[in-house]
Structure 1
Amino acid sequence: MTVHGGRRTQAERDAITVEIGYALYSATFAAAVVLGAVTGPALLFDLPEIVEATLSYAGPVLATALFAVRTVTVLVRFRRAVQPSQPGRTSPDS
Protein backbone atom coordinates (compact mmCIF):
# COMPACT_ATOMS: atom_id res chain seq x y z
CA MET A 1 0.00 0.00 0.00
CA THR A 2 2.83 2.40 0.71
CA VAL A 3 4.74 3.58 -2.31
CA HIS A 4 7.80 4.76 -0.41
CA GLY A 5 8.51 1.31 1.05
CA GLY A 6 8.41 2.47 4.66
CA ARG A 7 6.03 1.74 7.47
CA ARG A 8 2.34 2.46 7.05
CA THR A 9 1.01 5.69 8.45
CA GLN A 10 -1.80 5.75 10.99
CA ALA A 11 -4.21 6.92 8.28
CA GLU A 12 -3.29 3.96 6.08
CA ARG A 13 -3.75 1.53 8.97
CA ASP A 14 -7.11 3.11 9.78
CA ALA A 15 -8.20 2.81 6.14
CA ILE A 16 -7.27 -0.86 6.09
CA THR A 17 -9.16 -1.49 9.35
CA VAL A 18 -12.28 0.22 8.02
CA GLU A 19 -12.09 -1.69 4.75
CA ILE A 20 -11.72 -5.04 6.54
CA GLY A 21 -14.72 -4.20 8.71
CA TYR A 22 -16.75 -3.23 5.66
CA ALA A 23 -15.75 -6.41 3.84
CA LEU A 24 -16.77 -8.61 6.76
CA TYR A 25 -20.02 -6.74 7.43
CA SER A 26 -21.17 -6.68 3.81
CA ALA A 27 -20.20 -10.33 3.32
CA THR A 28 -22.12 -11.35 6.45
CA PHE A 29 -25.19 -9.42 5.31
CA ALA A 30 -25.10 -10.90 1.80
CA ALA A 31 -24.59 -14.43 3.16
CA ALA A 32 -27.52 -14.03 5.57
CA VAL A 33 -29.80 -12.88 2.76
CA VAL A 34 -28.81 -15.82 0.56
CA LEU A 35 -29.16 -18.26 3.45
CA GLY A 36 -32.66 -16.98 4.19
CA ALA A 37 -33.70 -16.93 0.54
CA VAL A 38 -32.54 -20.48 -0.15
CA THR A 39 -33.28 -22.21 3.16
CA GLY A 40 -36.38 -20.18 4.06
CA PRO A 41 -38.85 -21.94 1.75
CA ALA A 42 -37.83 -25.32 3.18
CA LEU A 43 -38.70 -24.06 6.65
CA LEU A 44 -41.88 -22.20 5.74
CA PHE A 45 -43.61 -24.49 3.27
CA ASP A 46 -44.52 -28.15 3.23
CA LEU A 47 -42.26 -29.38 0.44
CA PRO A 48 -41.25 -32.90 -0.59
CA GLU A 49 -38.46 -34.30 1.58
CA ILE A 50 -35.87 -34.32 -1.20
CA VAL A 51 -36.51 -30.63 -1.94
CA GLU A 52 -36.34 -29.71 1.75
CA ALA A 53 -33.10 -31.64 2.17
CA THR A 54 -31.58 -30.06 -0.94
CA LEU A 55 -32.52 -26.53 0.10
CA SER A 56 -31.37 -27.11 3.69
CA TYR A 57 -27.99 -28.29 2.41
CA ALA A 58 -27.58 -25.78 -0.42
CA GLY A 59 -28.35 -22.69 1.70
CA PRO A 60 -25.35 -22.90 4.05
CA VAL A 61 -23.04 -24.00 1.23
CA LEU A 62 -24.01 -21.05 -0.97
CA ALA A 63 -23.90 -18.61 1.95
CA THR A 64 -20.39 -19.75 2.91
CA ALA A 65 -19.15 -19.47 -0.67
CA LEU A 66 -20.71 -16.03 -1.07
CA PHE A 67 -19.15 -14.85 2.22
CA ALA A 68 -15.68 -15.88 1.05
CA VAL A 69 -16.05 -14.44 -2.44
CA ARG A 70 -17.47 -11.13 -1.21
CA THR A 71 -14.76 -10.68 1.42
CA VAL A 72 -11.93 -11.38 -1.02
CA THR A 73 -13.48 -9.22 -3.75
CA VAL A 74 -13.82 -6.17 -1.49
CA LEU A 75 -10.29 -6.49 -0.12
CA VAL A 76 -8.69 -7.03 -3.54
CA ARG A 77 -10.57 -4.03 -4.95
CA PHE A 78 -9.32 -1.89 -2.05
CA ARG A 79 -5.74 -3.01 -2.56
CA ARG A 80 -5.85 -2.09 -6.26
CA ALA A 81 -7.46 1.31 -5.67
CA VAL A 82 -5.17 4.26 -6.21
CA GLN A 83 -4.92 6.16 -2.95
CA PRO A 84 -4.29 9.93 -2.96
CA SER A 85 -0.68 10.86 -2.24
CA GLN A 86 -1.60 13.44 0.38
CA PRO A 87 -4.30 13.01 3.02
CA GLY A 88 -7.37 15.05 2.27
CA ARG A 89 -6.42 15.59 -1.36
CA THR A 90 -7.64 13.86 -4.47
CA SER A 91 -5.36 12.65 -7.19
CA PRO A 92 -4.95 14.96 -10.23
CA ASP A 93 -6.87 12.50 -12.41
CA SER A 94 -10.13 12.94 -10.49
Structure 2
Amino acid sequence: MGRRTQADRDAITTEIGYAFLSGCFAAALVFGAVYGPALVFGLTPTVDAALKLTAGVLAGAVFLLRITHVLWRFARRPGNDGA
Protein backbone atom coordinates (compact mmCIF):
# COMPACT_ATOMS: atom_id res chain seq x y z
CA MET A 1 0.00 0.00 0.00
CA GLY A 2 1.43 3.34 -1.02
CA ARG A 3 1.28 6.63 0.75
CA ARG A 4 -2.08 8.34 0.97
CA THR A 5 -2.52 11.67 -0.74
CA GLN A 6 -4.11 14.67 0.94
CA ALA A 7 -7.26 14.04 -1.10
CA ASP A 8 -7.43 10.47 0.25
CA ARG A 9 -7.04 11.67 3.82
CA ASP A 10 -9.70 14.35 3.28
CA ALA A 11 -12.10 11.76 1.82
CA ILE A 12 -11.60 9.47 4.81
CA THR A 13 -12.13 12.35 7.26
CA THR A 14 -15.30 13.44 5.45
CA GLU A 15 -16.65 9.89 5.43
CA ILE A 16 -15.99 9.45 9.15
CA GLY A 17 -17.80 12.73 9.86
CA TYR A 18 -20.73 11.68 7.70
CA ALA A 19 -20.90 8.29 9.41
CA PHE A 20 -20.89 9.92 12.85
CA LEU A 21 -23.54 12.53 12.06
CA SER A 22 -25.85 10.13 10.24
CA GLY A 23 -25.44 7.66 13.11
CA CYS A 24 -26.41 10.35 15.62
CA PHE A 25 -29.45 11.30 13.53
CA ALA A 26 -30.61 7.68 13.16
CA ALA A 27 -30.10 7.02 16.87
CA ALA A 28 -32.08 10.15 17.80
CA LEU A 29 -34.94 9.04 15.55
CA VAL A 30 -35.02 5.58 17.13
CA PHE A 31 -34.81 6.99 20.65
CA GLY A 32 -37.65 9.42 19.92
CA ALA A 33 -39.81 6.75 18.33
CA VAL A 34 -39.44 4.37 21.27
CA TYR A 35 -39.44 6.85 24.17
CA GLY A 36 -41.72 9.49 22.61
CA PRO A 37 -44.98 7.93 23.77
CA ALA A 38 -43.73 8.05 27.36
CA LEU A 39 -43.49 11.83 27.05
CA VAL A 40 -47.02 12.14 25.68
CA PHE A 41 -48.92 9.67 27.84
CA GLY A 42 -48.85 9.45 31.61
CA LEU A 43 -47.11 6.15 32.26
CA THR A 44 -46.06 4.54 35.49
CA PRO A 45 -42.45 5.10 36.57
CA THR A 46 -41.62 1.44 35.90
CA VAL A 47 -42.89 1.54 32.32
CA ASP A 48 -41.21 4.92 31.81
CA ALA A 49 -37.87 3.53 33.01
CA ALA A 50 -38.25 0.41 30.86
CA LEU A 51 -39.00 2.49 27.76
CA LYS A 52 -36.06 4.78 28.48
CA LEU A 53 -33.69 1.83 28.87
CA THR A 54 -35.02 0.11 25.74
CA ALA A 55 -34.78 3.33 23.74
CA GLY A 56 -31.21 3.90 24.87
CA VAL A 57 -30.09 0.38 24.03
CA LEU A 58 -31.77 0.42 20.62
CA ALA A 59 -30.43 3.90 19.82
CA GLY A 60 -26.89 2.78 20.71
CA ALA A 61 -27.21 -0.30 18.54
CA VAL A 62 -28.54 1.73 15.59
CA PHE A 63 -25.71 4.22 16.01
CA LEU A 64 -23.04 1.51 15.89
CA LEU A 65 -24.69 -0.32 13.00
CA ARG A 66 -24.99 2.88 10.96
CA ILE A 67 -21.34 3.84 11.48
CA THR A 68 -20.19 0.32 10.64
CA HIS A 69 -22.32 0.17 7.50
CA VAL A 70 -21.16 3.55 6.17
CA LEU A 71 -17.47 2.93 6.80
CA TRP A 72 -17.51 -0.61 5.37
CA ARG A 73 -19.31 0.66 2.29
CA PHE A 74 -16.67 3.37 1.89
CA ALA A 75 -13.82 0.89 2.27
CA ARG A 76 -15.29 -1.44 -0.38
CA ARG A 77 -15.83 1.30 -2.94
CA PRO A 78 -13.77 0.88 -6.12
CA GLY A 79 -10.63 2.97 -6.03
CA ASN A 80 -10.03 2.53 -2.30
CA ASP A 81 -7.07 0.42 -1.23
CA GLY A 82 -8.98 -0.88 1.78
CA ALA A 83 -8.55 2.51 3.46
User: Is the pair's TM-score, using the shorter chain for normalization, greater than 0.5?
Assistant: yes
Matching residue's letter, 1:73: H
Give the TM-score, by structure 1 length.
0.78
Query: For the residues of structure 2 that align with 1:15 and 1:56, how far apart are their CA atoms?
Result: 37
| From 4, 9, 17, the counterpart of 1:8 | 4
CA distance in 1: counterparts of 2:34 and 2:75, whole angstroms: 32
Rounded to whole Å, the distance in 2 between the matches of 1:83 and 1:7 is 14
How far residue 46 of structure 1 moved from its aligned partner, in angstroms, is 1.3
What is the aligned residue count?
80
Counterpart mapping for 1:60-75 below 5 A:
60-75=56-71
Q: Which runs of 4+ in 1 moved over 6 A?
A: none
| CA deviation after TM superposition for structure 1 residue 52, in Å | 2.2
TM score, norm. by length of structure 2: 0.87
1:19 to 9, 15, 20: 15
Larger Rg: 1
1:59 maps to 2:55: yes
For residues 16-70 of structure 1, give each alpha carbon's deviation from its aligned partner in whole angstroms, at most 9, with x where no partner exists. Answer: 0110010001000000111111111112211344432321110111001110110
Mapped pair 1:80 → 2:80: no
The CA RMSD over aligned residues, in Å, is 1.5
